[in-house]
Structure 1
Amino acid sequence: MTQPSSSARRVLRWVRRFVAVAVSVCALAGAVRLVVPASGSAAGEPPGVRRQLAFLREALEAGAGDEAQALFPEGFFFLHALYGLSWVELGLREPPGERSQALREARWALERLDSPSGRAPFSPGLTPPYGVFYQGWCNWLRGGVLSLQPEGRRDPAEARRFAGDSAALGAAFDSSPSPYLAAYPGQSWPVDSTVAVASLRLHDALLPPRFGATVERWLREVRRRLDPRTGLLPHRADPGTGEPVEVARGSSQSMIQRFLVDVDPAFAAEQYVRFRDRYVATPLGLGPAVREYPEGVDGPADVDSGPLPLGVSLSATVVTLGAAQAHGDAPLAAALAGYGELAGLPIDTPWSKRYAFGLLPIGDAFLVWSKTARPWVSRPQDPPPPSVTWWWRVPLLLLLAALGAAPWLAALRRRAAA
């Protein structure tokens, strides 16, 4: 067998060194991302979110909404809605005179929802028209646009539209025997009605109140129809009676907990701790993540949950970051944000930031919306007892240290033997 030449051996040696250095640098970068704070406070702006929104706007203009629509039924809608809502979140952190960009971008997103493309997946024959999913999210964003405008200087047409759409939602809830309105013909998900009811609370915070009785009735009916296994709102309900037909799941619970705090803070606090205790897990001991099904229950993955490695839903984990922030659970929010900085493979430039190489902008939209989360209407109860400590990072840091050191072990053994 021909031996490699000395020059070939030198090239091979330099290649091995380059790979070793690259692996070690990546491990070090991962460790830094894991420990540097990635979530914001209630008043402060989370780091990097404006650059994420810059990436999303560019992606939307390049057709990302249509691409997301091909992946799941509400892809176009969600991508625009979350973009607009994230700008509202940022605008609400700014002085009233400095909200022009946030207001402009939120209005742009709302216009895209209020279009044939935005309404395409939904049925105009439902009550309210196009269903509670479409009307609830649109009404929440419409209220957010109004929130960015100083009282007394709000656009009259936007205020009338918000009042009218809220009245249609309120009438639909008042006339329904179930607290859970249909999102599609014959299909009802409690999370969609939770968003819609939160928008009625937002109406009463911005305009003359009129939906207090509607919301209180909704809460009474919801408490009578909780999932018997978990004590939480079910994932799916019978469209006629509202009775649970599917166990509570992480993909919908993570969003319910985000909105329920603006409907009834006390009830929301009870529900949040119950959810956190049953769904937040540490698979293989590596960081917090959110299960799609409660402990002891197995179920299939679907378009809501995404793939379920070790029973964990990546989408539920991302959205739970926002729920934790909305409930003042800073330790869990910080842990989920830090884990996302490590596992999300972010590409960070001075102009934009994207995760997973920017291949799925809908994931970036959910993440930026979660990072900016805080209540719009209510003050949450006292923060829940912490469920994670700083030590959750230790197994991941040890794993990264081993990964960074591994390429050098053979050379160190040779040197020690020489």
Structure 2
Amino acid sequence: MLRRIAAVVVTLIALVAAVRLVAPQQDPAGVRSQLTFLRSALDDGSAADAQKLFPEGYFFSYALYGLAQVDLGNAAEARWALSHLTSPAGRAPFDAGLTPAYGVFYQGWTNWLRGGILSLEADPRLSAEFTASSAALAAAFDASVTPYLPAYPGQAWPVDSTVAIASLRLHDKLLAPRYEATVARWLAGAGARLDPSTGLMPHTVDPASGSPTSVARGTSQSIIQRFLVDIDPAFARSQYLVFRSRFVYRPLGLGPAIREYPSGREYPSGVSGAGDVDSGPLVLGASLSATAVTLGAARVHGDTRLAGALANYGELLGVPVSTPWSQRFAGGALPIGDTFLAWSKTARPWVSAPVPVTPAGPPWWWRVPLLAGLALLVLLGWIVNAKRSIHA
């Protein structure tokens, strides 16, 4: 009887896994359940725990939670998240002496969240803050010889300036148009400083000149591709197709993932292709965070084929645990991972309406090897049960 129960359990697990691999994962109720778990985790100190993992752990824990709530139309929770970003703890990792104050990373993401809340409800005080922070960002960009402002003293990442410029485009959609020239200059400057080996925006640049100091990487590209749509849909489309061809792959021939380093490249001296604080540990060359965030990038580009595949594969490998009230992945062991995933699942353009892209792949049959593996697991379970029953 115990052997039969074990075989039945294996069968049920395989069936659940098969459903997660095949069924569409577009139900917002699942994201709301995930956000319920994340709110509870934040109340229990998960943001402070994330801060121990990487320098922006606290900030991202609240920022992405708030942005996902904006996507679902929940202004109250988004405001609650914003209050933590503008608190002393939210500003603590950043330098007040930078231009703009606290750096472009802090100002760009915070401004984007302010604009998202204003897109849901009018608020004169928040509107005044959004106007002032947008003006400070635009003034910093206009005064800079490089399109990439520093996030920390002596350090600049193009992805951070991309988020900030998107917030200026959101300002011009919600309030009086003011920053078209700033955005145009930024696009021209960014286009003149692409990574020469990929034609994409680089991962890091010289803060004085904006010249690339590293190759384009999946961790930052996944976020850049999410925000470029709201800055310039045409430029975004061309960049996304290159990103798609250089970074999307199928490790071991199974489900889709995102490389941290682009394919078809010899790395220069000093670039080993290893994981670091930006990417986290790499698995067969894939960045788990970049893979999760690319789900959102694919959604805003209308790349339903890739978005669906990433969502299904995540449901299979992430082993979500659901209750009537909440949902968490990997047993809730790493809430910041759930935060990035929830933000990606709710992704939608806030400013522009891009033309959907339909690049090739992943192939329609990518699930077949995984389904075959699940079927084999079930078959082996029943074969073992049958053999033991015969010997008994």
TM range (shorter): over 0.9
User: Aligned pair 1:366/2:334, yes or no?
Assistant: no
**Residues 117-163 of structure 1, C-alpha deviation per residue, up to 9 Å, x if partnerless?**
000100001000000000000000000010001xxxx2111111000
User: Aligned pair 1:314/2:291, yes or no?
Assistant: no
SS in 2 for 1:239: coil
User: Aligned pair 1:379/2:347, yes or no?
Assistant: no
The residue number in structure 2 matching 1:38 is 25
Paired residues of 2:170 and 2:350 also in contact (CA < 8 A)? yes
SS in 2 for 1:226: coil
Paired residues of 1:52 and 1:352 also in contact (CA < 8 A)? yes
1:340 pairs with 314, 324, 335, which one?
314
**Residues 8-43 of structure 1, C-alpha deviation per residue, up to 9 Å, x if partnerless?**
xxxxxx44333333222211111111111113xxxx
The residue number in structure 1 matching 2:39 is 57
Q: In the aligned structure 1, how far is the partner of 2:345 from the partner of 2:71?
A: 10
1:245 pairs with 199, 213, 217, which one?
213
Q: CA deviation at 1:316?
A: 0.5
The residue number in structure 2 matching 1:186 is 154
User: Aligned pair 1:21/2:3, yes or no?
Assistant: no
Q: In the aligned structure 1, how far is the partner of 2:384 from the partner of 2:378?
A: 13
Q: In the aligned structure 2, how far is the partner of 1:251 from the partner of 1:348?
A: 28
Paired residues of 1:178 and 1:242 also in contact (CA < 8 A)? yes
- TM norm structure 2: 0.96
User: Aligned pair 1:89/2:71, yes or no?
Assistant: yes
SS in 2 for 1:71: coil
Q: In the aligned structure 2, how far is the partner of 1:170 from the partner of 1:147?
A: 20
Distance change (3 Å), C-alpha of 1:345 and 1:414: closer
Distance change (3 Å), C-alpha of 1:386 and 1:46: farther
Q: CA deviation at 1:302?
A: 1.0
The residue number in structure 1 matching 2:256 is 288
SS in 2 for 1:112: helix
Q: CA deviation at 1:385?
A: 2.8
**Residues 163-215 of structure 1, C-alpha deviation per residue, up to 9 Å, x if partnerless?**
00000000000001110000000000000000000000000000001100000
2:171 pairs with 197, 200, 203, which one?
203
Q: CA deviation at 1:382?
A: 3.6
Q: CA deviation at 1:295?
A: 1.4
1:172 maps to a residue whose letter is A
Q: How does 1:372-411 map to 2 (within 5 A)?
A: 372-411=346-385
Structure exhibiting the larger radius of gyration computed from Cα positions: 1
User: Aligned pair 1:256/2:224, yes or no?
Assistant: yes
Q: CA deviation at 1:387?
A: 2.2
2:98 maps to a residue whose letter is L
The residue number in structure 2 matching 1:68 is 50
User: Aligned pair 1:124/2:96, yes or no?
Assistant: yes
Q: CA deviation at 1:296?
A: 3.9
Q: How does 1:150-189 map to 2 (within 5 A)?
A: 154-189=122-157
Paired residues of 2:4 and 2:385 also in contact (CA < 8 A)? no
1:242 maps to a residue whose letter is G
1:252 maps to a residue whose letter is S
**Residues 329-374 of structure 1, C-alpha deviation per residue, up to 9 Å, x if partnerless?**
0010000000010000100111000000001110111001000101
Q: In the aligned structure 2, how far is the partner of 1:37 from the partner of 1:206?
A: 33
1:123 maps to a residue whose letter is D
Q: In the aligned structure 2, how far is the partner of 1:389 from the partner of 1:417?
A: 44
Q: CA deviation at 1:47?
A: 4.2
User: Aligned pair 1:78/2:60, yes or no?
Assistant: yes
Distance change (3 Å), C-alpha of 1:242 and 1:17: same
What 5-or-longer segments of structure 1 have no aligned partner? 1-13, 40-44, 92-101
The residue number in structure 2 matching 1:8 is none
Q: In the aligned structure 2, how far is the partner of 1:359 from the partner of 1:416?
A: 42
1:303 maps to a residue whose letter is V
Q: In the aligned structure 1, how far is the partner of 2:326 from the partner of 2:5?
A: 28
The residue number in structure 2 matching 1:4 is none
The residue number in structure 1 matching 2:269 is none
SS in 1 for 2:299: helix
Paired residues of 2:156 and 2:204 also in contact (CA < 8 A)? yes
**Residues 63-101 of structure 1, C-alpha deviation per residue, up to 9 Å, x if partnerless?**
11111111111111001001100010011xxxxxxxxxx
The residue number in structure 2 matching 1:5 is none
Q: CA deviation at 1:413?
A: 5.0
Paired residues of 2:3 and 2:385 also in contact (CA < 8 A)? no
1:109 pairs with 77, 81, 87, which one?
81
Q: In the aligned structure 1, how far is the partner of 2:54 from the partner of 2:3?
A: 44
Distance change (3 Å), C-alpha of 1:31 and 1:377: same
Paired residues of 1:38 and 1:47 also in contact (CA < 8 A)? no
Q: In the aligned structure 2, how far is the partner of 1:222 from the partner of 1:265?
A: 15
1:139 pairs with 111, 121, 125, which one?
111
Percent identity between the two aligned chains: 64
Deviates more, 1:19-28 or 1:381-390: 381-390
2:59 maps to a residue whose letter is F
The residue number in structure 2 matching 1:232 is 200
How large is the Cα RMSD of the aligned pairs? 1.5
Q: CA deviation at 1:414?
A: 6.6
Distance change (3 Å), C-alpha of 1:18 and 1:417: closer
Paired residues of 2:259 and 2:285 also in contact (CA < 8 A)? yes
